[in-house]
Amino acid sequence: MTNAITRHNVDAERALLGILIDSPQLADACGVRPGDLDPGPGHDVILSAVLEVFDAHRTGDPVLVLDHLARRDQLGQVGNESARAGVYVAELLEAGRGLPSVQHYARLVREATVRRRIYEVGTRLVQSATTTPDLDAMLDAASDMSLQLGILVDDPVEGDAPIPGLSLIEEFINEPSPPHSWVIPGVVERADRIMLIAGEGVGKSVLARQIVTLLAAGRHPFMPKAIIRPRRTLLVDLENPPDLVRRNLRGVVGQIHAEGLDLGGRAWRWNRPGGMDLRGPVDRQLLARVIEKTRPDLVAIGPVYKAYGSRPGDSHETGPAEFGAAIDHLRERYGCAFWIEHHAPKASGSEARRTDPIGSSYWLRWPEFGLVLRREPHSEPNVYMLDRFRGDRDVRCWPDQLIKHASRWPWATDYDPDNKDALFRAIDEDNAIPIPDTGGTS
């Protein structure tokens, strides 16, 4: 059984190589790589030689292929018990002569490769499960193997299968643009990453709670009188104790009820005041389970420093990059947007407090929107400018200012008139989109 799973399809490889030696221009489309071929008779080095000769001379020539192998001292690797070197290459040419389609043989070769590699991953997984005493280390290995399996599943067996996301620019720009997939109309689209930084005690967490509850109630978080389609939300608080969060949410939810609204089973919260480590497989899988259960349109999570741990030998970017990769995997898998709370560095000496994210410069490159709540030195103490620590990747209707305790809600907003008009147009556009009938409730 093992041989049936792991062996190469040598006959298909011989036919394929015979075609490609004569017609190397077909190699790119067939999708077969040297590593797919059996090294026993030197099929891998033959294909490498075919490709390199074609790159250098833009032609297929068995004499040049043999010369290339000789100069690389690889002729001794080519052949089987009955034929060696040039004789074996001649046999390959004869095997490929008159065959109808390179794709047929390429598929047979790729099928053997996929089966062999899945078997290899499965074998390593069994070995890890039976020989690794530390559970976390075993789960780390299993997570890596899961990624390898995902790559195998996503890699098409057909060499000329469509590659997702690849098209001619002219075709791409002529495709009809779908309507915006708003989560917060005019402001946040599905799968966006928003990072908000501010000093301690400014009210970042309070703002996140206001956003997730108003969205679930069907009101615009930055324009609470505006009716929008309700969204599903998830609040992941990694710092504050549950009692503090409960008291704060009671006030916001009470105001929602006073407006005659409800959350309709759409707003979820998950408290982990001890933090979590999204660099490790256990917490990554746990957060994925929570998102799978709650199916949010928006996840508000933070603060960042409680979302991953450090490791010996880490660079400044290692932890942030692995946290970012975990979030990227979740947003790609579930399509939700992420509202992420982070901190600004403390002031140094007499200098003003900086307005970039604390820690790594990775944060300057990663999110679509990098927001800063900053108080002007001579403004009212409850008025905060909404600035940026990086340029926006798209034009959106962000408020210019956020104002604490200026309305019935913890945070109110102030908009430039043109920006406010654009926001209301986005709200109207979103409300005009028919809600799909899923047979259930949102």
CB 92 within 8 A of CB 21: yes
Tokens, residue 128? 């890890």
Pairing status of strand 298-302 against strand 369-374: unpaired
Mean pLDDT of 332-354: 78
Instruction: Please give the Cα distance from 198 to 319 (Å, whole number).
Output: 21
Closest CA to 270 of 307, 322, 228: 307
pLDDT at 185 over 70: yes
Lowest mean pLDDT among 160-169, 219-228, 302-311, 338-347: 160-169
Lowest mean pLDDT among 236-245, 353-362, 393-402: 353-362
pLDDT at 7 over 60: yes
pLDDT at 257 over 60: yes
pLDDT at 438 over 50: no
Q: What is the full DSSP assignment across 158-193? A: STTSPPTT---HHHHHHSPPPPP-EEETTTEETT-E
The confidence band for 441, taking pLDDT boundaries of 50, 70 and 90, is very low
Report H helices in 281-437: 281-294, 318-334, 362-365, 417-431
CB 270 within 8 A of CB 234: yes
Q: State residue 315 phi and psi, 5-degree precision.
A: -85, 180
The confidence band for 269, taking pLDDT boundaries of 50, 70 and 90, is very high
Among all chains, which residue has been given the structure tokens 């690849």?
A: 166
Mean pLDDT of 185-202: 93
Instruction: Please give the Cα distance from 212 to 219 (Å, whole number).
Output: 10
pLDDT at 271 over 50: yes
pLDDT at 300 over 70: yes
- pLDDT, position 218: 96
* Secondary structure of residue 290 in the 3-state scheme: helix
The confidence band for 231, taking pLDDT boundaries of 50, 70 and 90, is very high
Mean pLDDT of 304-324: 88
CB 381 within 8 A of CB 400: no
Tell me the CA distances in angstroms from 302 to 236, 268, 290, 372, one per residue in order. 7, 15, 15, 15
- pLDDT, position 176: 84
The confidence band for 368, taking pLDDT boundaries of 50, 70 and 90, is very high
Percent of the chain at pLDDT above 90? 43
- pLDDT, position 352: 59
Contacts of 263 (CB under 8 A, 6+ apart): 213, 216, 217, 253, 256
The confidence band for 373, taking pLDDT boundaries of 50, 70 and 90, is very high
pLDDT at 346 over 60: yes
- pLDDT, position 417: 86
Tokens, residue 189? 């689209």
- pLDDT, position 261: 94
* Secondary structure of residue 412 in the 3-state scheme: strand
- Highest averaged pLDDT of the listed ranges 63-77, 131-145, 179-193, 308-322: 179-193
Instruction: Output the pTM of the full model.
Output: 0.67
CB 233 within 8 A of CB 269: no
- pLDDT, position 86: 83
- pLDDT, position 396: 94
Please provide the average confidence, as pLDDT, over all residues in the chain.
86
The confidence band for 29, taking pLDDT boundaries of 50, 70 and 90, is confident
Tokens, residue 377? 């030195």
Report H helices in 132-166: 135-154
Cis status of the peptide bond prior to 303, with omega within 30 of 0: yes
DSSP state of 81: S
- Give the distance from CA 143 to its chain's centroid: 15
Mean pLDDT of 23-30: 83
The C-alpha angle with vertex 338 and arms to 334 and 343, in degrees rounded to 5, equals 150
- pLDDT, position 318: 86
CB 17 within 8 A of CB 43: yes
In DSSP terms, which residues pair with 343 in a beta bridge? 198
Percent of the chain at pLDDT above 70? 91
- pLDDT, position 25: 87
The confidence band for 157, taking pLDDT boundaries of 50, 70 and 90, is low
Mean pLDDT of 175-182: 84
Q: What is the full DSSP assignment across 58-69? A: SS--HHHHHHHH
- pLDDT, position 351: 58
For 377-416, how does the pLDDT look when each residue is reduced to its tens digit (9 = 90+)? Answer: 777 888 999 999 999 999 999 999 999 987 899 999 999 8
320-324: long-range contacts at Cβ-Cβ below 8 A with a sequence spacing of 24 or more?
A: 320/359, 320/360, 320/362, 320/363, 320/366, 321/360, 321/362, 322/278, 322/279, 323/278, 323/279, 324/362, 324/366
- pLDDT, position 130: 92
Tokens, residue 88? 């074996």
pLDDT at 350 over 60: no
CB 338 within 8 A of CB 274: no
Domains within the chain, CATH numbers bracketed? 1-158 (1.10.860.10), 182-347+354-432 (3.40.50.300)
Residue with the larger pLDDT of the pair 170 and 83: 170
The C-alpha angle with vertex 34 and arms to 32 and 36, in degrees rounded to 5, equals 60
Instruction: Please give the Cα distance from 180 to 422 (Å, whole number).
Output: 13
- pLDDT, position 325: 92
